[in-house]
Amino acid sequence: MRFIPLSVLLLGSCLVLPAVADDGAALLQRLVDAERTQSFNGTFVYERNGSFSTHSIWHQVGSDGTLRERLLQLDGSAQEVLRVDGRVQCASGALADQLIDSQLWPTRELDAAQLGEWYELRVLGDSRVAGRATRVLALVPRDQHRYGIELHLDQQTGLPLKSLLVNDKGQLLERFQFTHLQAELPTDANLQPGAGCRPVRLSPAQAELAEAWRSDWLPPGFSLNSVTQRRSPASDEPVACQVYGDGLARFSVFMEPLRGAAVEDVRTQLGPTVAVSRRLKTADGDVMVTVVGEIPLGTAERVALSMRSTAEVAP
């Protein structure tokens, strides 16, 4: 489970401090181990684009190693997510539509050696979150194609109690912060979803659909993780979705046949999430290519411009 997200000024001051004598890779591995082995429940605040929401979370590690998680929004519209072993089982509210379109909140197997190629791991010192002592770990990007992250890891459990996501100008894009944490096993009743939690179904893409598109350019370190498909709510056409990642950051590329529909290119950003759409002409008709993810806007635009139909480049 990855939580991405003091002030921007404080974060900026942290990032210029020299790293203390500690091992960032070891801290990162402890986080991975904690989320595989540590049951907990708590309440956290999420901030994006100037808006705040409060959530409860239950994370249960079963005796057989099965991971069950439930996330419930406590204010505003009712939103809920339940997942088992990293796969979303059901969702409600706006989250349901988002999760049907793409598999959000995936299991993350963070690899310090891999991430070290694209991020500098800096241990910044000690802090305190939700009344608990933490160690602060910064992942500073080595290029302009990804965002920086600051993690406050609980010294007792290794769990992430706070995270901040910032762009290359040091501006805060997203914040996650626990206000209360209990490192104890949630009950089965805590993990039962509400009546409005809709099942999420993702269909594996057909082989020919998976191979129908490729990118002429990807940000360094990003590779294709998965391919799925869904039906367009507008045209009932099959829509291919390719998911790319660098081991931490992710973005999705959707390819939807337009069948003569009049649509305009889109370029927008909400907090850390960007969406770039462009019309692509192919021998079978125009297709709308849309890139969505937590990457810089310029990077998303370049990916969108690089998508090609393999039929167009076939010898």
Handedness of CA 150, 155, 157, 161 (dihedral sign): negative
Find the domain containing 252 and state its range: 202-313
Pairwise pLDDT comparison (45 vs 22), residue with the higher score: 45
Q: Answer whether residue 3 is part of any domain.
A: no
Residue 278 lies in a domain: yes
Q: Does the structure show a pLDDT above 80 at 22? A: no
User: SS3 of 210, please?
Assistant: helix
Q: Quick one: 170 and 265 in the same domain?
A: no
User: Cα–chain-centroid distance for residue 256?
Assistant: 22
Of the candidates 197, 158, 165, the one whose C-alpha atom is nearest the C-alpha of residue 59 is 158
Structural domain contains residue 304: yes
Are residues 183 and 21 in contact, defined by beta-carbon separation less than 8 angstroms? no
List Cα–Cα distances, 120 to 1, 19, 125, 148, 249, in angstroms.
21, 11, 15, 10, 14
Strands (E) located in 64-118: 67-73, 80-84, 87-92
Residue 166 lies in a domain: yes
At 88 the pLDDT is 84
Question: Which of 137, 163, 191 is a domain's end point?
Answer: 191
The proportion of the chain whose per-residue pLDDT surpasses 70, expressed as a percent, equals 81
The answer on 274 and 181 residing in a single domain is no
Task: Verify that 117 and 234 share a domain, yes or no.
Answer: no
The CA–CA distances, whole Å, from 45 to 117, 118, 162, 189 equal 31, 29, 9, 23
Which among 82-86, 118-122, 311-315 has the top mean pLDDT? 118-122
Overall number of domains in the chain: 2
The 10 Å Cβ neighbour count of residue 152 is 27
- For residues 208 and 33, which has the higher predicted lDDT (pLDDT)? 33
Q: Are residues 271 and 234 in the same domain?
A: yes
295 backbone dihedrals φ, ψ, rounded to 5°: -135, 160
C-alpha span between 79 and 46 (Å, rounded): 13
Residues 183 and 66 in one domain: yes
pLDDT tens per residue across span 45-61: 999 888 899 999 999 99
**Helices (H), strands (E): how many in the chain?**
7, 20
* Together in a domain, 104 and 212: no
Residue 147 in this model has a pLDDT that exceeds 50: yes
Judged against a pLDDT cut of 90, whether residue 225 lies above it is answered with no
Percentage of the chain modeled with pLDDT above 90: 55
Separation CA 69–CA 204 (nearest Å):
23
Residue 284, pLDDT > 70, answer yes
30 and 158 Cβ atoms separated by less than 8 Å: yes
Does 2 reside within a domain? Answer: no
Q: For residue 16, give both structure tokens.
A: 């210029």
**Do 245 and 147 belong to one domain?**
no
1 assigned to some structural domain: no
Residue 94 phi, psi (nearest 5):
-65, -25
| pLDDT of the residue at 210 | 55
CATH number at residue 81: 2.50.20.10
How many residues are there in the chain?
315
Round the average pLDDT of the chain to a whole number and report it: 83
Decide if 45 is inside a domain: yes
CATH code, domain carrying 307 = 3.30.200.100
pTM (2 decimals)? 0.83
Domain boundary among 137, 164, 191: 191
Find out whether 76 and 53 touch, Cβ atoms under 8 Å. Answer: yes
Higher pLDDT, 193 or 309: 193
Question: Does residue 211 share a domain with residue 146?
Answer: no
Determine, yes or no, domain membership for 214. Answer: yes
- Of residues 182 and 235, the one with the higher pLDDT is 182
pLDDT: is 205 or 155 the higher one? 155
Q: What is the mean pLDDT of residues 177-189?
A: 95
**Which band of pLDDT confidence, cut at 50, 70 and 90, is reported for residue 233?**
low
* Co-location of 170 and 242 in the same domain: no
Are 141 and 211 within one domain? no
Mean pLDDT value across residues 81-103 = 71
Q: Are residues 185 and 234 in the same domain?
A: no
49 and 30 housed in the same domain:
yes
In the predicted structure, residue 280 carries a pLDDT above the cut 80: yes
| Whole-number pLDDT of residue 257 | 87
The pLDDT of residue 314: 45
Which domain-ending residue is among 168, 191, 214? 191
